[in-house]
Structure 1
Amino acid sequence: MTSDRTARRQSALTESLERLSGAHPAIAAVLREVGPPEPRILEPGFASLLRIMVGQQVSTASAAAIWARLVEASGDTVSGFNSLDDEALGRVGFSRAKMRYGRALADSVLDGTLDPEGLEALPGEEVSSRLMALPGIGRWTAEIYRMFALGDPDVFPIGDLALREGVRMALDLPERPDLDVAERLTEAWKPERSAAALLLWRLYRRRRGIAVLGADSPPIVDNSAQAQR
Structure 2
Amino acid sequence: MTQTPELESLTEESLTRGLMVLAKLDSDLARILETLGPPPIWSREAGFATLLCIILEQQVSVAAARAVFTRLCGVVVTLTPENFLILDDVQLRAIGFSRQKILYCRGLAQAMPTAGNANATGQLDLTKLEKMDENTIRTELKRLKGIGDWTVDIYLLMALQRPDVFPKGDLAIAIALQKLKNLATRPTPVQLEEMTQQWRPWRAVAARLLWHYYLSNPK
Using structure 2 for the length normalisation, give the TM-score: 0.88
2:124 maps to a residue whose letter is L
Q: Distance in 2 between matches of 1:58 and 1:23?
A: 33
Q: Distance in 2 between matches of 1:205 and 1:21?
A: 19
3-state SS of paired residue (1:208)? coil
Residue 154 of structure 1 and its aligned partner are, at CA, apart by: 0.6
Quick check: 1:122 aligned with 2:125?
Answer: no
Residue 208 of structure 1 and its aligned partner are, at CA, apart by: 2.0
Q: Per residue, is there more helix in 1 or in 2? A: 1
CA deviations 1:82-111 (Å, max 9, x no partner) are 010111101111111111111110111133
Q: Distance in 2 between matches of 1:61 and 1:181?
A: 28
Q: Distance in 1 between matches of 2:126 and 2:44?
A: 12
Q: Which runs of 5+ in 1 are unaligned?
A: 1-7, 210-229
Q: Which runs of 5+ in 2 are unaligned?
A: 1-9, 114-120
Number of the residue aligned with 1:4:
none
The worse-fitting range, judged by mean Cα deviation, of 71-80 and 51-60 is: 71-80
Residue 121 of structure 1 and its aligned partner are, at CA, apart by: 1.1
Using structure 1 for the length normalisation, give the TM-score: 0.84
Query: Larger C-alpha radius of gyration, 1 or 2?
Result: 2
What is the aligned length? 202
Structure 1 stretches of at least 4 aligned residues deviating more than 6 Å after TM superposition: none
C-alpha contact 2:25 2:199 (8 A) present in aligned 1: no
Identical residues among aligned pairs (%) = 39
Number of the residue aligned with 2:63:
61
3-state SS of paired residue (1:41)? coil
Number of the residue aligned with 2:12:
10
Q: Distance in 2 between matches of 1:85 and 1:23?
A: 51
CA deviations 1:3-46 (Å, max 9, x no partner) are xxxxx622221111111112222211121122110111111111
The worse-fitting range, judged by mean Cα deviation, of 8-17 and 121-130 is: 8-17
2:103 to 81, 95, 100: 100
Number of the residue aligned with 1:200:
210
Which structure has the higher relative contact order (CA within 8 Å, separation 6+)? 1
Number of the residue aligned with 1:30:
32
Superposed CA RMSD: 1.3
